[in-house]
Each structure stands twice: as structure tokens, then as C-alpha cells.
Structure 1
Amino acid sequence: MQMNPLGRTGLTVSELCLGTMTFGTQTSEAEGHAQIDRALAAGINFIDTAEMYPVNPVRKETVGRTEEIIGAWNAANPARRADYVLATKHSGEGLQIVRDGAPISSATIPATIEGSLRRLQTDYIDLYQFHWPNRGSYMFRKNWTYDPSRQDRSATIANIEDCLEALQHQVDKGNIRHFGLSNESAWGAAQWLRLSEDRGWPRVASIQNEYSLLCRLYDTDLAELSANEDVGLLAFSPLGTGLLTGKYQGGAVPQGSRKSLSPELGGRETARVHGAVEAYLNIARKHGLDPVHMALAWCRSRPFMASAIFGATRMDQLDRVLASTDVALSDEVLADIDLAHRAHPMPY
């Protein structure tokens, strides 16, 4: 398992990260604990969660359940907490089932962190992330219509300063160690970096955005920011919510799959997506590769990648993902992927 730097924190994280957003819905507590054991044994040292998890669906009565499942594992394995980097997230503005949709601010940060610490049964969070910006985001298929022209720049800057100062207090207390963003833009990330450096407050270590063969928004301005500012990408949905496995081709909807619970796959089910998926499946067939291994190996090869976050509802899926670390893509495979990307850009 390759280890990569987590920004300028001095921490290193495994090239694959265990995502946990199905723990508590599709994945039982016992299965979740088994997955943590298996992942750590395979060399993964990075686990990602969020206060709003689990998903599929997100419900008020289950908010925080995923953190509780991880917390139960921590309580049963107290000596192993130092074996891995634990990341969680503070929900952004507009999620009514959490704090009635209140924006992230110094008023919400302390109690939200304390709640996560309590559920996770840990004294500290290694990487504390803001799940999405208060001002909105290009992510979640909003890139087609997102309009920043009515933003209040002064209010955004004031909120960043307010949040960074609150985060510094949490660092001083030992509740969190480092800070990351999620579903963020290049301009937004640049402001967080600038203001943190000006004031000596927590510096952005990472950006957790969607990234896969099907979703390559990060390749432009954010890739440049990563290279110049040592802010790595934590890629979520590197398998395109399962699309890149091929299991949904031909209209198939496997029982218990994400598509069986969310038919639109969060806006990813479009007229163009299955043609794009087929192009990548054909490349995998041509070169004798497992499409899951190809998709993950490609993500891991990107120069700005800190870690690719995967989710597995079953242990056999986890084992399949873990085997991908033995795969390196040839120049011929990469060339074919580039051609497919040009033919099928942003299919959703």
C-alpha cells in the first residue's frame, strides 16, 4: 500500500481510504467492524466518515449512526486508535435534518465537533472537514447551472475568518489536529489558504471532491492549486457510484445496490453515462484488466491524489478493491483512457 503526504501536516495516508457512508444502512455494524479490521490488515490507515452519515437514504433518525458504529469499534480496540487517520465532516448550510440547516460558523463548530468526538468515542479527530461551502458548490451535478455572480464576497471572507479562528480553538484544545475542505472550488480553497496563512490559523490539508473516469472537474484549476499549494485530493466516488464496475449496464439493477435505493444515482443516471462506461469497460477488456482495478489504479496514478475513498457494502467488494493496489496501468492503457475521455467528457 503506497503512502502519500496529507498536505503539509506531516501525516501520511494510504492511497486508498475506507469510506463508511453505508455503515448503518446497507452495511451492518458487524460488517462495518469487519471491514475496518480487514482494511487495516491490508495496510489502509485512513477512514473517512461524516456526521450526517449513513446515506441511502439520509434520514434525521439515522444522522450520526455511522460515527457511532466507528466509535463502537474504537471502544472495543482502544490501543488501535493511533493506527489510523480518522476524518469526519461538518455538514454545510441547507441540510435541514442537521441543525435546521444552519451554516457552518463559530456558533456551530464547537458543539458539532464535541458531538462527533462523543459518537466516535475518541479524544481527537485527525482531519476535520467542512462537507460543502455555505455559499453553495459546483459539485453534486450543480456545475451545469451554478451561478456565483450574486455572492457576497465580504460575507464569505468574514465567515472563513470566523470559522478558522474557531478551528484554531479546537486545535488548541486537542479536539482536532488538521483541517480539510470538501466539495470546494479553486477560488474558495485559495481564500481558505490565504487567510489561514495570513493569520496563522489551521491550513487546508486536503480537498475531498468527486473524481473518477466519469467526473474530472478537478483536472483543471484545482489540479494546479494542488500542485502549487500541497493540498491533495481525497477523491470520493472513484467508481462513479458503482457505474464503472459495469454492474448497471444493460439496465441491470442488482438487488441491494445503490441504484436499487437511489435510481438516479444522485443525478449520474443520464442518457450519456452508459456509453461512457462501456468505453471504459472495453478498455479493461482489451487489456485484460478488472474494470474496478483499472478505475482505481487510474485515480491513484493522478499527480494530485492523496487518497481515493471507496465504499464497500459487502466484504467481497472490499477484497476486490484491495486487490487493485497491485495494478499499474501501462502507457497503452493510459492512452486509451485519454481517447475515451475526449469522446465522453462529463457524461453527467
Structure 2
Amino acid sequence: MRYKKFGNTGLFVSELCLGTMTFGGEDGMWSQIGRLQQEDAERLIGRSLDAGINFIDTADIYSGGRSEIITGQALKNLQVPRDKVVIATKVFGETGSKGPNSRGMSRYHIMDGVKASLERLQLDHIDLYQIHGFDPATPMEETLRALDTLVQQGHVRYIGVSNWAAWQIMKALGISERLGLARFESLQAYYTIAGRDLEREIAPLLASESVGLMVWSPLAGGLLSGKYGRNTQAEEGSRRTTFDFPPVKLDRAYDCIDVMREIGERKGVSVAQIALAWLLHQKVVTSVIIGAKRVDQLDDNIAATGVSLGEEELAALDKVSALPAEYPGWMLERLGVYRRQQLAESSAK
């Protein structure tokens, strides 16, 4: 297991992060994602820690708070030293009693949300507190000031964001710098070989501003697990058959799966491992969030850290998954050719 610098901080996290969305589902959407209860969840957390994973991600909204409860109890039952694990959770969605202020990014909701999460997790602080979505009703400055208060009070160590556009992230970073507030150190976003939209605007921003990237749904909701293909019927009850998310252009995804299957067969590894290994080879990625319902699935995902892709294999995967050209990208590419060549020549001397 390798460890990577987290954003513009001195914190190091494992290149794989255990996601807990499969914990606690009892009905509705959450039951389709996962129904793992305490004993099974502890087995997965214990196996992850043994493999060197020091990063666990959850959210207040997962299974109506049950995921946080199970995660916190598991850390206690397994007697995990607090300084050996980095715990991340999120705030935004509706939890607890319903009302006009029970969701969003207002100071009101954030302050209530962090107290509830700390209680469910049985912790005295949260290492990474993330905004789960963009709130058009709350001024960004209010949100950032509330998060900075939590950092100053010691309830939260670092803050991050999830599912924001590039311009929103950049605006927030500017406000934080101008006002001297804690800044977003990470983005949690969807990114797969079959869904590379993030590369257009967000990835360059993250690299420029030293913001870490946590990848959610790296197997596109199971589509890249190896169970699916152009002529492959998934087993009944598979996640994609009951919960078709995130949206994917299937033709391109199947093309990617065909190439990944060929590479996987040559290396003697699964399609899922190739999909995860591709992400781990991307410089912009800090940590890939993996979720599982069974230990064998978790072990298969963890094994991706040992898969090395050569230049020709990466080139083949890049070609089959390439995004179609879009403006202004193709114009920037065209206009920057000469200056990039100058940079390359100067650095080679």
C-alpha cells in the first residue's frame, strides 16, 4: 500500500480508501447499495486496516446515519488507535427530523450536522469534513466561515468538497485565501476510465491548486467489475441491474471493458483490478474509494495496488477511453503547441 500527500497539507493517506456506503442499508435506495450490518462491516474494516488502508470515508446521509453508527462502533470494537486511521464524513443532505433547515450548507445545518456525526461516530474530532453537494441558497462565504469555525474549535482537522464544478471550487479557494479561512484540501468526485469528464476542467484545477482527488464509484457502480459486457448478462441482484447509477455511455464503456479484459487476461488479474489500476496510475488521483459487500470483493480490489500497467497498455486504455474534443479544449491544445515544445526543450537541457 502506498501513501500519498493529501492536498496541500502534511497529511498522508493510503492510495485506497474504504467506502462505507454498503453499511446499514435497510430499505429504499440504500438496501440496493448494501445491507451490511455490524459484524460484516467490522470484517471489512479489519481486513482493510490489515492491508494498510488508513483512510475510511462515510457520510451522514448514508443509510440515514446507520453507516456512521456502524463505522464508529466498528472502530471501537476493533480497538483501532485513533491516530492510525483518517476518518472522513460529509454533510449536506437531510438527516434527522425534516424541516426547512434540515439540509444544505448553512451555518445552522453545518453546526448541527457535525455534532450529530461526531455522536454517531463516537469520535472527538473528524479528520476530513466534506461538503456533499453545492447549495445555491447559501452564500459560499457563510459555508466557508462555518467550516473554518469547526477547524478552529478542533472538531474538524481538514475540510473538503464533493460534486462541485471547477468554477465553484476555484471561487471557494479564492474566498478562503482572501479571508484567511481553512480551504478545501480535497475534492471527492466521480472518475473512471469509462467516465473521464473530470479531465476537462476539474483535473487541471486540482493539479494547479494542489487539491487532492478522492475518486468515488471507480467501477462505475459495478459496470467495470467484469460482470458486465457487450454480450454478458449480469447475475440477478447485481447493483447495476437494480440501481443504474452513475450514468455511463455504454458503447464507450463496453469498448473499454473489451480492452481491459484483454490486458487482465494477459496479466492474470480481474477487469476490476485493471480499472482500479488505471486510476492509480493517474497523477491527479490521491485516493480511490473502494466499497464491497464481501471480503473476496474487497481483496480483489486491494490487489489492484500491485498491478503495474506498461506504457503500451496505458496508451491502449487511453485511446479507447478518450473523450471527444470539446471547445475550448481543442483550441487551447492548438494554440499551446509551440510553447509546450519550448518548455520541453528547456527542461531537457
TM-score (norm 2): 0.83
Asked if 1:252 corresponds to 2:252, the answer is: no
Aligned-partner SS, 1:24: coil
**Residues 276 and 343 of structure 1: CA distance in aligned 2, closer, same or farther (over 3 Å):** farther
C-alpha displacement of 1:309 = 0.5
> Could you tell me which amino acid in structure 2 is paired with residue 112 of structure 1?
G
TM-score (norm 1): 0.84
C-alpha displacement of 1:199 = 1.1
For 1:111-170, what per-residue CA distance to the aligned partner results, in whole angstroms no more than 9, with x for missing partners? 1000100000101100000111113xxxxxxxxxxxxxxxxxxx76xx111111111221
For 1:304-346, what per-residue CA distance to the aligned partner results, in whole angstroms no more than 9, with x for missing partners? 111000111111000111111111110111011012113889x
Matches within 5 A, 1:187-266: 187-249=167-229, 250=231, 252-262=233-243, 264-266=244-246
C-alpha displacement of 1:9 = 2.4
Counterpart of 1:58 in structure 2 is none
For 1:155-186, what per-residue CA distance to the aligned partner results, in whole angstroms no more than 9, with x for missing partners? 76xx1111111112211221111100101111
In 2, distance between residues paired with 1:291 and 1:17? 19
102-111 or 252-261: which moved more?
Answer: 252-261
C-alpha displacement of 1:266 = 4.0
78-87 or 12-21: which moved more?
Answer: 78-87
In 2, distance between residues paired with 1:209 and 1:86? 17
218-227 or 235-244: which moved more?
Answer: 218-227
> Could you tell me which amino acid in structure 1 is paired with residue 114 of structure 2?
I
Aligned-partner SS, 2:73: helix
Given candidates 49, 65, 68, the residue that maps to 2:58 is 49
Aligned partners of 1:45 and 1:84 also within 8 Å = yes
C-alpha displacement of 1:270 = 4.6
Aligned partners of 2:195 and 2:248 also within 8 Å = no
**Residues 79 and 291 of structure 1: CA distance in aligned 2, closer, same or farther (over 3 Å):** closer
Structure 1's unaligned 5+ residue stretches are 55-62, 136-154
Aligned partners of 1:287 and 1:333 also within 8 Å = no
72-81 or 126-135: which moved more?
Answer: 72-81
Aligned-partner SS, 1:134: coil
Asked if 1:35 corresponds to 2:44, the answer is: yes
Asked if 1:170 corresponds to 2:150, the answer is: yes
For 1:204-247, what per-residue CA distance to the aligned partner results, in whole angstroms no more than 9, with x for missing partners? 11000000101112212212111111101101111111111221
Tell which structure's C-alpha radius of gyration is larger.
Answer: 2
C-alpha displacement of 1:277 = 2.9
In 2, distance between residues paired with 1:95 and 1:274? 38
313-322 or 278-287: which moved more?
Answer: 278-287
In 2, distance between residues paired with 1:257 and 1:99? 35
Counterpart of 1:146 in structure 2 is none
Counterpart of 2:258 in structure 1 is 278
Structure 2's unaligned 5+ residue stretches are 26-33, 326-349
Counterpart of 2:164 in structure 1 is 184
Counterpart of 1:130 in structure 2 is 131
In 1, distance between residues paired with 2:67 and 2:227? 26
Aligned partners of 1:87 and 1:127 also within 8 Å = yes
> Could you tell me which amino acid in structure 2 is paired with residue 128 of structure 1?
Y
**Residues 322 and 128 of structure 1: CA distance in aligned 2, closer, same or farther (over 3 Å):** same
**Residues 270 and 291 of structure 1: CA distance in aligned 2, closer, same or farther (over 3 Å):** closer
> Could you tell me which amino acid in structure 1 is paired with residue 47 of structure 2?
R
**Residues 270 and 298 of structure 1: CA distance in aligned 2, closer, same or farther (over 3 Å):** closer
> Could you tell me which amino acid in structure 1 is paired with residue 132 of structure 2?
H
**Residues matched between the structures, number:** 315
C-alpha displacement of 1:33 = 0.7
Matches within 5 A, 1:58-207: 63-92=64-93, 102-135=103-136, 159-207=139-187
Asked if 1:303 corresponds to 2:304, the answer is: no
In 1, distance between residues paired with 2:57 and 2:323? 33
Aligned-partner SS, 1:240: coil
In 2, distance between residues paired with 1:261 and 1:82? 39
In 1, distance between residues paired with 2:272 and 2:44? 18
In 2, distance between residues paired with 1:320 and 1:77? 23
> Could you tell me which amino acid in structure 2 is paired with residue 3 of structure 1?
Y
